[in-house]
Structure formats: structure tokens, C-alpha cells
Structure 1
Amino acid sequence: MRRLRLWPRTLAGRITLLLIGGLTLLHIGSMVVHERALHGAEAGARVERLAERLSAAAAAIAPLPEAARDAAAHALSLPGVELHWDRMAPLPDTPPPEALAATASRIGPGTRIAWDPKAEAGHRAVGAVPLGGEGWLSFSASWIGPASHGAEAGNALASMLAMALGIALASVLVVRWITRPLRRLADAADAIGRDLRAHPLPEDGPQEVRHAALAFNAMQGRIRRLVEDRTEALAAMSHDLRTPLARLRLRAGFLPDSEDRARMEADIAEMEAMVERTLDYIREGRDAEPTRPADLSAILHTLAADAADLGHEVICEAPARVVLPLRRLAAKRALSNLLDNALIHGAPPVRLALRDAGVEVVVEISDAGPGIAEADRARALAPFSQLDAARGKGGSGLGLAIAARFAEASGGRLELDRAPSGGLLARLVLPRG
């Protein structure tokens, strides 16, 4: 069971979460302070109004005959406040509840007040005000108790949700705008690994962003010059080797037929193959070949037919047609290297399989040879790396590296795995579009 991850992975997500959390807490705190101050002021004003009404009603009722006092009290009742006149005190002379003590002191001396026993405590209060020996003015007020907590909680929750949604929307827009330079920097850094001639970053925005873009573009230029210098030196050296190799082959042709001559010609052929592989590796991704729709299935069938004509046991399982954007010559070179790797270092039969997985196209080339140990597979993809102990044959160590570089430049990947027959399975995964 995977553990729930509450902390976002992205910087934008973390900034958004901090903004929402911090502003929500600030809103809750300010709302609590505001509600307490508002309720305190409102409650005080209500008690003052009640005291004034009771005082005015007592002054109006006291001079009246006793028979008319109760009717006058009823006539002076207001919405939310019911008034009665009683000869005897309707409530015992006991201390008022703690929540009503302040109310009793504000109404006046001798006031008796308590919660209505017929209603829920905190919702309705009853009390009586002495009329100076002329009886008691009784009152019942539902609105001087605490307000409805359910309504307050609902209003507070609705306010908090509305505020959180507003902050979330604003935070997403603002944070995406703030972190856009970081995303551009990450995309540019990824593009350098695929193409050193990628367009430089735009040098605009805040001062820190402009400084980072300038430094990144300068770094890209230095890396490009360094790689180009070394690549040109290696390409020149590899190209210049062709002339002495051609002279050696010509001179070997004048030697009499013998075992030494055959070995010399084999060595020359191996050296020429190494030079050709080196040049292919250097050219990969730098030959400016355009990307065009190409039939990958036709390329596989052609390679399998050519290998079969040379006497190799090759099985090709591919649909009739799979077209996708490719650098056709580079794709053919990469697949040819994978096939040669299986033919030279593996054992028959060699299988070529092509699967269209929707958003990806998968090419699998497998053999029945000794394979490559899992611990050595990453090293096998490095250029000029030869696993003699694992594969049992020589070579330039560039076949898998050329295919891996092609996959990376095409936005795909090259994976090495164990084939069902026990040998090596090279899986080339290319994007569909």
C-alpha cells in the first residue's frame, strides 16, 4: 500500500499549498477576532435597547391603575420582547446565571433574570423588573441570548471555502507565472542533452531570471564549442585513418596467398569497421537529417531479408505498415547495429518484433545467446565499452551506443532485458508522433 503523499513534488505545488494554508489560517484568525468583537458589540447594544425599553415601559405603567397595567404592558410589547404586569415576583430572588449576570446589571437594580425553563437554555430568557412597590414588570426575550451557533458555523464555513477557492485560483495563476522561467530552464537543459544547437533561452524577465538565462546560454555555448572541437578532432583522425588502411589493403593484395595474408586482411577489415562505426557514432544526431514520415516496418523487413540472404537465421514479426516521423537513415543505422550485435554476439534464431502501442512504437530484437548480466547492461550502452566476458566476441563497442544515442535524440529510449530464449533482448521504444 502506497503512503499518501501530502507534500507536493513540484515547487509550484508547494508554493500554492503554503499560500492557501497560510492565508486560510490568517482568514480564520481574523474571522474569529472579528466575530467576537462584532458579537460583543451587538450583544451590548441589544441589552442596552432592552434596558431602555423596560425602563420606558415601567415609567409608563407605574402611574396607571392596577387593573389597566397588564393590558398596558401587553400593548407595549415589541417583536421579540413580551411584557406582562404581575403583583408578585414571577422569579425567586436568586443569583442570575453566569451568562445573564451582565445583562441583569445593565437592566437595573433588583432585576431578576433566568433562562426560560420551557425553552432550551441559551435561547430564551425571562425576567422581572420591580416597579417600586407597584408590582413587577415581567418580560420574555428570545433575542438577548446567544445567537444560533449553527448558523454562525455555516456562514463561517461558507466564507472560508469561498476564500480558499479564490486563493487557490489566484495562487495557481500567479505561481505558474512565477515558476515559468524554471520550467523553461528545465526544458532547455533537457534539450541540450538531445541537441547542442537548441535555441538559447530568452534573456528577459526579472533580474534573477535574466542572470540565470545569460549564465545558461553561456554554458551552452561553451559546451557546444568543447564538444564540437573534440568531435571534429576525433572525426578528422578517424577519417585520416582510411588512407593508411587503404594503402595497407593494397599492399596486402600483392602478398602471396597465405594464412598471414588472410589474417592481415581480416585485421584491416576490422579496423575499417571500427573507423566506420566511430564515424557513425560521431555523426549520430549531428548530420542534419530531416525528420520525415517513414515506414519502420519496411526497414525491419529489409534488414531481416538482407541478413537472411547472408545465411543468418532471422525471424521478422512486424505489421505490414507502421509509419511514424523518423530520421530514416539514422533509424536504419541504429536498427542495423542492434541486429548486427545480435548476429555477432548472440546465437540463432534472431527475432525482430514490432508492436504499435498507440502513443509508442516498440521494436524488440532478441537472440538465443549468452545475454548480458543485469549488472553489466548499463555499462554495455556506454560508448567504446566491450563486455568480452559476457558476450564472448570482439568489436568496437559502439553498436549499442549508436542505437541508444538515436533513441535519445528521437525522444525515446533503449532498454536491455533478458530474452525469453535466454539471450539478450534489445527494446527500442520510439514516440508515435
Structure 2
Amino acid sequence: MSTSGGGEARPRGVRWLWPGSLAGRITLLLLGGLTLLHLGSMVVHERALHGAESGARLERLLGRLTTATATVANTPEASRDAAAHALSLPGIELHWDRVAPLPDIAPPIPLAEAATRLGPGARLGWDPKAEPGHRAVGGIPLEAGGWLVFSANWIGAPSDAPEGGNVLASMVAMTLGIALASALVVRWITHPLRRLADAADKIGRDLHTRPLPTDGPSEVQHAAAAFNAMQDRIRRLIEDRTETLASMSHDLRTPLSRLKLRAGFLPEGEDRERMEADIAEMEAMVGRTLDYIREGRDAEPTRHTDLAAILQTLASDAADVGHDVAYEGPARVVLPLRRLAAKRALSNLVENAITHGAPPVRLRVRDEGSRVVVEISDAGRGIPPADRDRALEPFVQLDAARGRGGSGLGLAIAARFAEASGGRLELNESRQGGLLACVILPRVQG
């Protein structure tokens, strides 16, 4: 069993028979239902039509045979065959014979009613392989002697059914018409749902998107109104939390500056160095917190950004201070991004690899056409697979990977940047056994 996009388990063998989208399922149901309806109505219509036609043909045949029987019976025996031939018509060939044309056995079931109506003693049979006009053969005994023998087209119902080609052409034309009409109607019906799904997908990236139009069917109107209300509540909640954290982080800068100034007046020694180190760490934590809050909310415009140039700069800066960091990849990879946000996110990943990993640290970028993949790897202890999702959450510090302190926001900032750009951040194991951070970015952002 496998799970489709809508969470519905279906066997692999029939997955293609049942579309995953609502529009596809409605179209398939309409097409199937109307096709069966058309097929049933066509069968009923054809049977009624050809049944009536067969009945009319039989009535004409009986009328002609009644007239011919009376005429030939009153004709001298020597002229009876000529008289019968003279009464022949296209589709009905008549002649006179002294012997019966068929043995005296029961006629085929489809012709039993017709044989009964020909009169007592009449004989009737058929040969579907005979030439047209001679498939039904019968004879009527004359009181004057001999038999009025006739051959005619098939007078029953079975072979009067429409040709298979006509049925197939009718079905194909009907199916194409229904498919076109269904696609247009279903597309019109499900458009508000697609719009709602697109808005739900964007809500985590941009809380300031315009409210959804409340049009369409009543159910969709209620869903759009509820979604707009939910989006407004989420926006107010996040804005309140963001403003609170931003205010606290910003207000901490003032006492930190005073502490730093007072520490400068202390005599040189181990206590002063420890205090300055603690103050520097607190300043870094405040800065990281402000960066995390600022991510996606600083209204930075999207512009063409050279990721390769950013990674080369980060590698050079780290190498200049003695770290084993190098860039491996193409000289230029350009795509639309928020340049400062991209530099901040990638800088956090490089700093995370240097601080919590082990050399060598390698920066790579791959251009895969529809997307660009940035890889930052180290040879440290890495992060266990069970903890990788949790490591992307803000303010989470893992003992195994983050034993040297920190704010727990470096990976979270990079993850938020990737999500805001329409991509994602993945944590895997590098070839050296350390952590491999992959930032996957789409070429065209939604």
C-alpha cells in the first residue's frame, strides 16, 4: 500500500485509475456516469428503433406475400412461376415451386413469430452467410397446389443492430464532448479551492498577503472567510511575540554596553577576561535573536544574487583567521534572492560548521537547472538522525553537537531563510562523517 497526496492509501496497480486531485476525480465521475447513461440510452433507443423497423419490414413482407399468394393461386399452373417473378420487389424475390423449399421443422426462435403470421403450414428458415436479399427463405402452401417460395432480407432483430463502427464513433464523440465540458466546469468549480490551497501554502512565508476573495460556492465562501480570520489571528499572535522579543533583545543592548564599559575599568586578569567573554557571548546571543526575528520581515527586495561569490567570500574570511575552510564549485551561480538574508543564513551555517564541527569545512554549490543546492560539510561529530529535525527549531541546543555554547538560532535562521525563499534546509551526514547542511533553493520563487 502507498499513500497518495491526499493521505488516502491505494494499491499501486490502480493508482493511475483514480486521480489524486479533486478536479480529476469529479471529472472522472462525470465522464463515467454520463458515458454509462449515454450507452444505456443508446442501446434502448437502437433496440426500439430497429425493433420498429423490423416490425414494419415484416408487415410489408406479409402484405406482399398475401397479395402474391392470392394472385398466383388464381393463375394457371404453367404461368404461376412467371407471375410470382413479376410480383418480386427489391429485397423480396418470389417464385413458384411444386415442392416445399424447406423441411417441415420448427423455424429458428428469432423467426418463430414471423412464421406464425405467414399462415398455417408456412415454412421459414434463414442462412446468415447467404448473399443479402436471400438470407431468409420461406414458403407458403397454395390451395391450388404448389408453394409460393420467397427469399428476402433478414427479418428478425439480431442482425439489425447498428454497426460497431457507428457505436464506437458515437461513444468517442460523446466522451470527448463530456471530457471537454467536464474539464471546463470542474476547473471553474475548483478554482477557489486551488486559490485557498495556494494561500495556505504561502501563509508561513508571508503573513501580510492579501485576504482571499470570498466568492464561489457557499462552502468555499465559508472556508475563505474562516481562512482569512485564521490568518489575521496568526499574524497578530506572531507580531505580538515578535515585538516582545525584539523589544527585550534591543533593551538588553544598553545594560550590556554599560557592563562592557565597566569591565574595561577592571584591572587586567582572569576575572576581567571571563567577564568580557560572557558579555561578548551575550551580545552575540542578542544579535542572533534580532537576526532571527528580522528574517523575512525586513522587507528586503529580491535581486539577482551570486551564491558562488557569497560562499567564496565566507570561505576566504574564515581562512584568513586560520580555519580550514575552502570553496569548491563553479565561479558563478546567480538566482533571485534576498542578498543580505542569504549571506546571513550561509554565514550562520559556516560558523556552525567551524564552531561545532571539525576541519576540513567545505563549501559547495550545485546548479541543477530548476534548483540550486548549497552544501556546507564538516568532519565533526555531526548530529544523530533522530535529532536533526529538532536541531532546526529555534533556541534548541543539542549536547552532542553544541557542547561549546551558542544561542541555538544559527540553523533556525538558515531554515527560515530557505523556507521564505521557497526551498528547504536539510541536515545529513557528510562524507567525512560530520554534518552536511544542504540549502535547496528553487530557480523561480513562488
TM norm. shorter chain > 0.5: yes
Greater Cα offset, 116-125 or 286-295 = 116-125
The TM-score, its normalising length taken from structure 1, stands at 0.95
Label 1:2 to 1:101 Cα distance change in 2 as closer, same or farther (>3 A): closer
Match of 1:48 in 2: 59
Contact 1:80–1:143 at 8 Å: present in 2 too? no
Q: After superposition, what is the alpha-carbon deviation per residue over 1:284-335, rounded to whole angstroms, capped at 9, x for unaligned?
A: 0000000011211111111111111111111101322211111100000000
Contact 2:395–2:408 at 8 Å: present in 1 too? yes
CA distance in structure 1 between the partners assigned to 2:167 and 2:232 by the alignment: 58
1:391, distance to aligned residue in structure 2 (A): 3.9
Q: Which of 344, 369, 380 is the equivalent residue of 1:358?
A: 369
The TM-score, its normalising length taken from structure 2, stands at 0.93
Partner of 1:324, secondary structure, is: strand
Q: Which of 288, 291, 294 is the equivalent residue of 1:283?
A: 294
CA distance in structure 2 between the partners assigned to 1:173 and 1:283 by the alignment: 44
1:166, distance to aligned residue in structure 2 (A): 1.4
1:153, distance to aligned residue in structure 2 (A): 3.0
Match of 1:406 in 2: 417
Match of 2:175 in 1: 164
Greater Cα offset, 256-265 or 278-287 = 256-265
Contact 2:92–2:133 at 8 Å: present in 1 too? no
1:117, distance to aligned residue in structure 2 (A): 9.2
Q: Which of 19, 26, 36 is the equivalent residue of 2:30?
A: 19
Contact 2:46–2:161 at 8 Å: present in 1 too? no
1:429, distance to aligned residue in structure 2 (A): 1.0
In the alignment, structure 1 residue 86 sits paired with structure 2 residue 112: no
Q: After superposition, what is the alpha-carbon deviation per residue over 1:254-284, rounded to whole angstroms, capped at 9, x for unaligned?
A: 1111111111111111111010000000000
| Pairs within 5 Å for 1:88-103 | 88-103=99-114
In the alignment, structure 1 residue 178 sits paired with structure 2 residue 189: yes
In the alignment, structure 1 residue 370 sits paired with structure 2 residue 370: no
Greater Cα offset, 122-131 or 223-232 = 122-131
CA distance in structure 2 between the partners assigned to 1:25 and 1:253 by the alignment: 89
Greater Cα offset, 419-428 or 56-65 = 56-65
Q: Which of 3, 14, 28 is the equivalent residue of 2:13?
A: 3
Greater Cα offset, 36-45 or 252-261 = 36-45
Contact 1:112–1:129 at 8 Å: present in 2 too? yes
Q: After superposition, what is the alpha-carbon deviation per residue over 1:210-260, rounded to whole angstroms, capped at 9, x for unaligned?
A: 332222212211111111111001100000000111111111111111111
1:415, distance to aligned residue in structure 2 (A): 0.7
List gaps (5 residues or longer) in structure 1. none
Match of 1:256 in 2: 267
In the alignment, structure 1 residue 144 sits paired with structure 2 residue 155: yes
Label 1:4 to 1:94 Cα distance change in 2 as closer, same or farther (>3 A): closer
Match of 2:84 in 1: 73
1:146, distance to aligned residue in structure 2 (A): 4.2
CA distance in structure 2 between the partners assigned to 1:117 and 1:296 by the alignment: 81
Match of 1:60 in 2: 71
Identity %: 76
Match of 2:209 in 1: 198
| Pairs within 5 Å for 1:305-384 | 305-384=316-395
Instruction: Give the residue type in structure 2 aligned to 1:241.
Output: L
Label 1:150 to 1:50 Cα distance change in 2 as closer, same or farther (>3 A): closer
Partner of 1:311, secondary structure, is: coil
Partner of 2:326, secondary structure, is: strand
Label 1:117 to 1:427 Cα distance change in 2 as closer, same or farther (>3 A): closer
Greater Cα offset, 128-137 or 396-405 = 128-137
1:150, distance to aligned residue in structure 2 (A): 8.1
Partner of 2:335, secondary structure, is: strand
| Pairs within 5 Å for 1:286-301 | 286-301=297-312
1:120, distance to aligned residue in structure 2 (A): 9.5
Contact 2:381–2:400 at 8 Å: present in 1 too? no
Contact 2:23–2:186 at 8 Å: present in 1 too? yes
Match of 2:42 in 1: 31
CA distance in structure 1 between the partners assigned to 2:188 and 2:201 by the alignment: 21
Greater Cα offset, 167-176 or 55-64 = 55-64
Instruction: Give the residue type in structure 1 aligned to 2:318.
Output: A
Contact 1:201–1:217 at 8 Å: present in 2 too? yes
Contact 1:297–1:321 at 8 Å: present in 2 too? yes
CA distance in structure 1 between the partners assigned to 2:274 and 2:100 by the alignment: 131
In the alignment, structure 1 residue 272 sits paired with structure 2 residue 283: yes
Q: Which of 200, 215, 221 is the equivalent residue of 1:189?
A: 200
CA distance in structure 2 between the partners assigned to 1:107 and 1:47 by the alignment: 10
1:123, distance to aligned residue in structure 2 (A): 8.1
Greater Cα offset, 283-292 or 247-256 = 247-256
CA distance in structure 1 between the partners assigned to 2:320 and 2:433 by the alignment: 26
